Amino acid sequence: MRTKTVAKGIVGLGLIVVTAFHLASAQAAGASKTEIQRGRYLVDYGGCNDCHTPKLMTAKGPAPDRSRRLSGHPSNAQLPPIPPNAIGPRPDQWGAITNSDLTAWAGPWGISFAANLTPDPQTGLGGWTAELFIKTMRTGKHFGVARPLLPPMPWANLAGLSDRDLKAVFAYLKSIKPIRNQVPPPVPPK
């Protein structure tokens, strides 16, 4: 029993140190603690984890895998085949279907994969600026000018947030643990 308590204490202390490190990194980049907390509130309230965090299957269904928080569709995940005629406009067809951890979605647009929102410089938002993030959310286009952000990304809802709130979301995303995970590109419809 004592060993479990000590182990939990060590894990808890480690989490505090890691959180403090990332908070300090984000604050060093100009974000205040209040701005980061506001961003976390908006990310949690907005349901970003629903699609951008891989899941673990539990007895109660899928639950977010906190060790891969906001890291997007796992690069090594295999997708099942989409049954023929499963997706379409008729009442006996699905409008969209998703994989078991809700990070890949298929619909009339093809297959879309939840992006890596961590500050990893190669595979996430590490090289992004707040301005680029805001432009992407306002236009619904990757980098503000490239391919469209695909369903189920609710970019039109995010476009309604103030610049202050979008900067807070971005500050929070820059403050979390970077996770190297190269999300695949979208697959066009057949």
Beta bridge partner(s), residue 169: none
22 domain residue, yes or no: yes
Least confident of 14-28, 103-117, 145-159: 14-28
Residues sharing a CB contact under 8 Å with residue 20, sequence separation 6 or more, in sequence order: none
29: pLDDT confidence band, cut at 50, 70 and 90? low
Average pLDDT of the residues in 127-146: 94
Looking at the 3D structure of the chain, how many domains does it have?
1
185 domain residue, yes or no: no
181 domain residue, yes or no: no
Q: Which domain holds residue 56?
A: 2-175
Over residues 74-88, the pLDDT tens digits come to 999 999 999 999 999
What six digits make up the tokens of 46?
A: 């907005």
65 domain residue, yes or no: yes
188 domain residue, yes or no: no
69 domain residue, yes or no: yes
40 domain residue, yes or no: yes
11 against 65, higher pLDDT: 65
- Report the C-alpha gap between 116 and 182 in whole angstroms: 8
Average pLDDT of the residues in 161-182: 98
154 domain residue, yes or no: yes
